[in-house]
Amino acid sequence: MKGQPTLSRKPRIVVIGGGTGLSVMLRGLKQKPLDITAIVTVADDGGSSGILREELQIPPPGDIRNVLSALADIEPLMAEVMKYRFNNGTGLAGHSLGNLILAAMTDITGDFVTGISELSRIFAVRGRVLPAANQAIVLKAEMEDGSIVVGESTIPKSGLAIRRVFLEPADVEALPEAVQALKDADAILIGPGSLYTSIIPNLIVPKLAEAIVQSDAVKLFVCNVMTQPGETDNYSVSDHLTAVQEHIGQQLFDYVIVNDGEIPPQVQDLYAEQGSTAVHLDLDEVTRQGYKVIADTLVLFRTYLRHDAAKLSDHIYHLVEDWMLRKE
């Protein structure tokens, strides 16, 4: 048979994280012939999500809402409606309409996971969206001075370097569907996103961590382009990888995807005002640790720096495709 070999089925890819970076990447990945499952953090305790979490005793809906919108086949106007935030109104001000819709679906169906599933059906979501657990998790951090800071939204504001993060309850039960998705995965993709408050909280949910370690899927890490004030100040690429390894207890990834494109000086100045700098690619150290590095110009600048979703998803798809072809 002539030509390139083709896969016998769509690769099953599990994407883990939270926040804006994950949503941007998923917009690119959904254009590829992939069977996508997104596992999303439930440690958020700030803003609208934090209020709904506290008042309705549900997992925080904000990151889930962003991921649903990213994977949905909906009109641009509907996407705007989902992220619309009320500016006025007693009890309404500050709330995202999408968060309220998710809260309503949870109440109607009687379960957060079922509510997500029904909303996914309504919005023709390409793939599955699963919370890491079917309950809210409290994230805590031990800082370099030994003090403990409580709450995902509080940790980056402490002004102290983070030694480690941990969960309460420590024995939180991972969502069974999320564990099964990891066991069935051909590829596991982690990042981009806030290292200590979006990425690592998923990786330290006990059964999720176990399933990732035991999986023979290809494991990819997409490194952030910029450091995050209060979380990863002055971090290099290898510092990100070391933080994950110290929390998991072993090296996790086969490939690291990083931006090596130049960031214009005026953009760097803009970020510097917020205490953020470009993540340094210390290539020798990353390769010495045994990671394979895929480096390319992967950023776009509009109002903010974002990953180039199309280019990033091309790299991811080709890596996953090559991995599966070698296995078949």
Is residue 220 domain-shared with residue 246, that is, in the same domain? yes
Residue 276 lies in a domain: yes
Model pLDDT, residue 327: 79
Q: Are residues 220 and 181 in the same domain?
A: yes
Quick one: 267 and 316 in the same domain?
Answer: yes
Does the pLDDT of residue 323 top 60, yes or no? yes
Which tens digits make up the pLDDT trace of 115-163?
999 999 998 999 999 999 988 889 999 999 999 999 999 999 998 999 9
Instruction: Show which of 74, 96, 131 is a domain's final residue.
Output: 131
Domain for residue 197, yes or no?
yes
Question: In terms of domains, do 206 and 279 share one?
Answer: yes
* Amino acid found at 211: A
Residue 224 sits at the vertex; the CA angle it makes with 162 and 72, to the nearest 5 degrees, is: 115
pLDDT of residue 1: 42
Q: 33-43 pLDDT, tens per residue?
A: 999 999 998 88
Q: Quick one: 147 and 249 in the same domain? A: yes
Evaluate whether residue 7 is within a structural domain: no
Give the structural domain span for 301. Answer: 12-41+133-327
Average pLDDT, the chain: 91
Does 25 map to a domain?
yes
Integer angstrom CA distances of residue 154 from 138, 150, 167? 11, 7, 14
- C-alpha distances in angstroms, 209 versus 181, 214, 244, 254? 13, 9, 11, 16
Give CA–CA dist 282/262, Å, rounded.
15
The total of structural domains in the chain comes to 2
Give dist(CA 287, CA 188) in Å, integer: 20
pLDDT in tens, 166-202: 998 888 999 999 999 999 999 999 989 999 999 999 9
Token pair 């002055």 is found at 234
Would residue 278 count as lying in a domain? yes
C-alpha R_g of the chain = 19
Give the residue with greater pLDDT, 76 vs 16. 16
Domain end marker among 78, 112, 131? 131
- Residues 225 and 208: their CA atoms lie apart, in Å, by 26
Contact 286, 254 (CB under 8 A): no
Domain boundary among 108, 131, 154: 131
Q: Does 19 score more than 90 pLDDT?
A: no
Residue 291's pLDDT is what?
Answer: 97
Q: Domain check: are 148 and 291 in the same one?
A: yes
Instruction: Please check whether residues 228 and 210 belong to one and the same domain.
Output: yes
* Whether residue 35 is found in the same domain as residue 56: no
pTM above 0.95, yes or no: no
